[in-house]
Structure 1
Amino acid sequence: MSAVDPLQDSRTNPLPGPNNKNPYLQGLYAPVTEESTCVDLKVTGEIPKDLCGSYLRNGPNPLNTPVGMHHWFDGDGMMHGVYLENGKAEYRNRYVRSADFIDDANGQCPVAGVMEPATMKREPKVYKDTANTDVILHNGELMALWYISGNPVRLDPRTLDTLREENFGGALPRHVSAHSKTDPRTGEFLFFDYALYEPWMSCGVVNADNELTGFQTVELPGPRLPHDMAFTENYFVLHDLPVVFTEQALRQRQWSIEIANQPTRFGVVPRKCKGEVRWFETDPCYIYHVINAWEEGDEIVMLGCKMVPNPHANGAAFGPYRAMVEVLALNAIPSEWRMNLKTGKCTTRDLDDAIGEFPSINLGVSGQPNRYAYVQAIAKTDTLKFEGFYRYDFQQGNKTSYFYEPGMCGSEVAFAPRIGATEEDDGYVVGLCSHEGTGESEFRIWDARAIDKGPLARVHLPVRVPAGFHATWADAHDW
C-alpha cells in the first residue's frame, strides 16, 4: 500500500455533471476507495502507556461516484478507528453497511439525496439513510446514527464490521436521530426522532440490556429540523428551533427548509417518558450541537454552540452548490441556557466570542455538571475546516488553544481518560487530522491539561482520512 491513498477522481479528474463545482467531493473531502487495516504504525513521540482504547469517527464517503446533485451529508457512512494498546497503534476503516448501502452496492435503485428532485425518491423512503453522522457506544457495541433520523446500525467496536440494523427487539416505534446519547451512569440510551409526518417528534429510552423501556410522542405545531438534544439525571431537553420544513417539503417529501419567525423553545420531558412536556421560550437561534446539560437547584443548565451571523459565508464561486456551501459555513459561539422549573423562565448568556463548533467533553460527566469542554476552532474559509481546537474551563472562565500547522485540518477531537483517572480532565485529547494539499493523515494525542504545548504523540497513517463528522472514545474494556 502506498504511503498516501491516491486522491483519485476528485483531485485528478473532473467530476461528472454539476459536481465539478462541488467542493465537498474534492481535496480534503474526497472519498477514499479502500477499506484498510494498518497495524504497528509509525509514531513520532510516545503513546502514553496509561492510554488504552479507541478513537472512532464517522463521516460521509460515497461508495459510487455521484452523478446528480450531491450534498456532503449524502455520502455513505464510513467509520474510522484508531486503536491504542501497550504504546502501539493500529488503524482501520469500514463502510457502515446500512440497508440502503447494501441496495446501492447490489445495483438496486438508489434513494435520492437531499439535493435531488422528489421524482428520484423511492417510497416509503424519503432520503437515503446513510448512518454517516454520529457514533455512540451502547450495550458493548457501536451505533452509527443519521442526522435525518433513520435506523441505527450496530458495529463491532473492535473490527468495525457491521452487525445489524437495530430495532431493539422489534420494539422501536419509529426512527432514531443522530446525537441521541448514552447515560454513562445508567447505561441507558436516550434517543429522539423527528419526521416529515405526524407525530413530528418523539423520544424514548433503551436500558443497558437493549430493551425499550419508555417512549413518548411530542406535540409540535409542525415539522421541525432539530439537530441535537440534551439530557440530565431526570429529563430530556428537546429542541424546537426556528428552522422548519416548508409546505413543498410536506407535499413532495423533499428537502426544503426556511427560517420561521418564532422563538426558540426547549421541551423538558421526564426521562420515564410519562408526563407533560414543559416548554421554555428564548430568543430565536439555531443550535447544531449541545455541549452538556445538568440539573442545578430549580434549574436545568444547558451548554451549547449558538449559531450567529457569518459575514464570511460566500458560496458564489460554487454555482449550484452555493446554498450548501453557505449553510455549512458554521459560525457559532459557546452559550449557556438556564431553564427554571419553578418560574418557567429561560435565560441565556454567551460564554465566549470565539467561533467554534463540534464540541466534546469527558463523556463520563454527561448529564452532570462539567467544567471542561473541547471545541473545534473553525477556519474562515469557504468550506468547513477545523484549524485547531479550544479547551474551555467554564469554572475559571478561560480557554487555551491549539492550532494545526498550515494546510493541516482536524477532525472532531475526543476526550480519553487515562487509566485510573479520578478527575474530569485527567487524561488526553485525541483526534485525526489530514493535510489538504498532500493528503497525509495523522492521529494526534495531547495532554488534556496542556493542549497548547502540542501533541505528545503523532501516529502516522499510511492512508488518507477524509474530513468527516462526529467522533467518540471507547475504553479498551468496551471492545
Structure 2
Amino acid sequence: MTKAQSPASGAPIAVAAPVDNSVENPYLLGVFAPVENELTLDDLTVIGEIPKDLNGVYLRNGPNRRFAAPGRYHMFDGDGMIHAAHFENGKVRYRNRYVRTEAFERETEAGRSLWTGLMENPKDNPFGNGHGLGIKDGANTDVIYHRGQVLATWYLCGSPYGVDPLSLDTIGAQDFLGTFAGDMMAHPKVDEETGELIWFDYGPDMDYLRYGIIGADGTQSHVTQVDLPGPRLPHDIAITENYSVLMDLPLVQDQDARRAGKYRIFYDRELQSRFAVIPRHGTGQDVKWFEAKPCYIYHVVNSWEEGDEIIMDACRVKNPQHQSTFEHPLSNMLAYMRLDAQLYRYKFNLRTGKTTEYALDDANIEFPSIDSRIMGRSHRYSYNMSLGNEPTLLFDGLVRFDSLTGNKEEHKFGKGRWGAEAPFAARDGSTSETDGYLVCFVNDEAEDRGEIDIFDAENLADGPIARVLLPQRVPSGFHATWIRSDQLAEGAGR
C-alpha cells in the first residue's frame, strides 16, 4: 500500500529553485534536493531477507526546504523532515513527515517563505529562538528518544519538538510539563540507566552556558549556569555515570557581525580548547576546567570514568575554517560544511588537573554512534560515517572502529551511492555491542531513488544483508537514532 500526502491539505508542496539562479546551490541539487511527497509505504521490494529479530524503528532527521527564501541557502535553513523505517517481525514500513514547527505552520499559512537564511541578515524575520538569534528554527538536526517520544532538535539551539516515533505526527514544542523555558542544543544525551536527559543551551549574547537535566518523570530536575569568557558555539556534550563534559572551543561568533545584525563565525587560533567537567547534578561552582590544543568538536563518541580520570572519545576537527579546494561562489559555506575529523581521545585527570590527548586514528570519519544502552559507560566499538572527498557533506561508507585494538572494519556504498548516519540496532536479546545490526538510508544517484540497507554489525565488510528499495530519494541530511521495540512498548504505556 502506498499513501502520499502534502503538508497542507490538498495543496501541492512548493519547492522552488534558488532565488539567485546564477548560483546553483549544491545543497539544493542531486541527493540534497527536497522531496515533494510525504509517504507511507508498507509494500516494498526487498533484496535479501529482513531479519526477524530486528524490531524497532530507525529515524533520521534532515533539512527539506519547502519554500524558496531570499538570499543564499544553507543546509541548516531547511525545514526538518523525519524519515523512518519501522521493522516488525521481518517486515518494514517507510514513512516521512515534516516536523510541524511554529515557523513551518506560519509559512504554510502564508503560502511562502517568511524567513531569510542563516547567511542573511535576519532583521525582518518574524522571530527566532529564545536567545535572540533571529534565524528560523527548523528542528532539522537530530532525533533523540526520551519518555515515549522523539525530540527533533536544531543546530543553533531551539525548541525541542516532540514527535510520535511511529506516526511521526508532531506533538509540539516541549516545555516538559511547564518546567522548562529557553532553548536546547542539538545533541542532548539520554542515560538509559537513569532515564535522565542531559542538555545545555547558549546564545549569541550569552557569556555562559545553561546546563540542566530533564528527569525520568519528564520535568526539569536541575539547572545551573557555567560562566564563559564570552559567547561560544559548542555543539555537543559528553556524559559519564556521574559527570558531564561541556566545551569552550575556539570557534566563536564574530561580534562585529552580531552588532550589524548578522550571524558569522570564525576560528580564533589564539584560544585554547577548554573542557568543563561538572558533576551531573553539580553547579557552575563545581566545574573543573581542563585545557587542550585548539580544535573544534561537532560530535562526541562517548565518555566514561576510569579511576581519577574522565575519558572522552570524540571526532576532532583540527581546522574548522580550512580553505575550500573547490571553486564556487559559495566556497566559504562549502568549506565549513566539509568536515575533516579524526577519532581522538582526551583524558581529564580530576586529581592532578592534567589533560592527556592523542589521536586514535587518522581516517576522516564523523557522525559517530555507539550502543545506546551503554552511553556514559566504557565502550569498545563505535559506528562511524566515512566522509567522501566531495565539495559537499556526503558519506561514502560505514566504519566500525575497535578502540581496544585500533582495527577498522569498513563498507563502501559504491560509486554515486551516499549513506546516512547508522546507529547500532540491537537485535532481540542482544548481549553485546556488536550483537545486532546497522540500518541506514542510501541514495543512488544513477537510479535517483533511495533504499534502506541493513548490515550485520559483526560482519560489516560483507555488505548489506538486505536492501529495501524506495520509490523516492531520502535527501542527504543529518542525524539518526534507533529505538528498540522494548523502548517503544515502554513508551506506549506512558
Question: Within 2, Cα distance between the matches of 1:66 and 1:402?
Answer: 38
Q: Give the Å deviation of 1:333.
A: 0.6
Alignment partner of 2:327 out of 305, 317, 341? 317
Counterparts in 2 of 1:55-134, with a 5 A limit?
Answer: 55-107=58-110, 110-123=114-127, 126-134=134-142
Does 2:29 match 1:26? yes
Alignment partner of 2:271 out of 251, 262, 266? 262
Question: Within 2, Cα distance between the matches of 1:414 and 1:26?
Answer: 26
Q: Give the Å deviation of 1:309.
A: 4.8
3-state SS of the aligned residue for 1:106?
helix
Counterparts in 2 of 1:238-253, with a 5 A limit?
Answer: 238-253=246-261
Partner of 2:39: 36
RMSD: 2.3
Does 2:242 match 1:234? yes
3-state SS of the aligned residue for 2:428?
coil
**TM-aligned CA distance change 1:311 to 1:322, over 3 Å:** closer
Kept in 1, the 8 Å contact 2:296–2:319? The answer is no
Residue identity opposite 1:242 in structure 2: P
Question: Within 2, Cα distance between the matches of 1:415 and 1:251?
Answer: 44
Extract unaligned runs of 5+ from structure 1: none
Partner of 1:160: 168
Partner of 2:9: none
Question: Percent identity between the aligned chains?
Answer: 43
Partner of 1:279: 289
Partner of 1:379: 388
Question: Within 2, Cα distance between the matches of 1:166 and 1:216?
Answer: 20
Extract unaligned runs of 5+ from structure 2: 6-12, 489-494
**TM-aligned CA distance change 1:310 to 1:443, over 3 Å:** same
Give per-residue Cα distances to partners, 1:35-71, cap 9 Å, x unaligned: 1100132111111111101110000011112332111
Q: Which runs of 4+ in 1 moved over 6 A?
A: 1-5
Partner of 2:190: 182
Question: Within 2, Cα distance between the matches of 1:99 and 1:14?
Answer: 24
Q: Give the Å deviation of 1:269.
A: 1.3
Q: Give the Å deviation of 1:402.
A: 0.3
Question: Within 2, Cα distance between the matches of 1:312 and 1:220?
Answer: 26
Kept in 1, the 8 Å contact 2:60–2:480? The answer is yes
Question: Within 2, Cα distance between the matches of 1:444 and 1:357?
Answer: 19
Q: Give the Å deviation of 1:318.
A: 2.3
Give per-residue Cα distances to partners, 1:7-61, cap 9 Å, x unaligned: x999xx9643157421100011000111110013211111111110111000001
Give per-residue Cα distances to partners, 1:251-272, cap 9 Å, x unaligned: 2442111111110001111111
Residue identity opposite 1:87 in structure 2: G
Higher RCO structure (Cα 8 Å, ≥6 apart) = 1
The count of residues paired between Structure 1 and Structure 2 equals 474
Q: Give the Å deviation of 1:236.
A: 1.1
388-397 vs 307-316, greater mean Cα deviation: 307-316
Does 2:152 match 1:147? no
Q: Give the Å deviation of 1:397.
A: 1.7
185-194 vs 107-116, greater mean Cα deviation: 107-116
3-state SS of the aligned residue for 1:59?
strand
Question: Within 1, Cα distance between the matches of 2:426 and 2:456?
Answer: 10
Give per-residue Cα distances to partners, 1:95-154, cap 9 Å, x unaligned: 011111111111187233211124333455521011100000001100001110010000
Q: Give the Å deviation of 1:476.
A: 2.0
Question: Within 2, Cα distance between the matches of 1:159 and 1:466?
Answer: 20
Partner of 1:298: 308
Residue identity opposite 1:391 in structure 2: R
